[in-house]
Amino acid sequence: MIIDLNGRLLKKIALKRDALQGSVFGAIAYIVAYHGLHLIFQAPKNNHLYVDDLESVFVPSLYKKFSNQLTEIENRISNDLDKLHKYITE
Q: What is the pLDDT of residue 68?
A: 92
pLDDT in tens, 34-75: 667 778 888 888 877 766 677 888 888 889 999 999 999 999
Provide the mean pLDDT of the chain.
79
3-state secondary structure the chain: CCCEECCEECCCCCCCCCCCCCCHHHHHHHHHHCCCHHHHCCCHHHEEEECCEEEECCCCCCCCCHHHHHHHHHHHHHHHHHHHHHHHHC
Structural domain boundaries of the chain?
A: 20-89
pTM listed for this prediction = 0.57
Question: How much is the pLDDT for 33?
Answer: 67
Predicted confidence (pLDDT) per residue in 5-34, tens digit? 788 887 777 766 666 667 777 777 766 666
What is the Cα–Cα distance from 39 to 80, expressed in whole angstroms?
A: 11
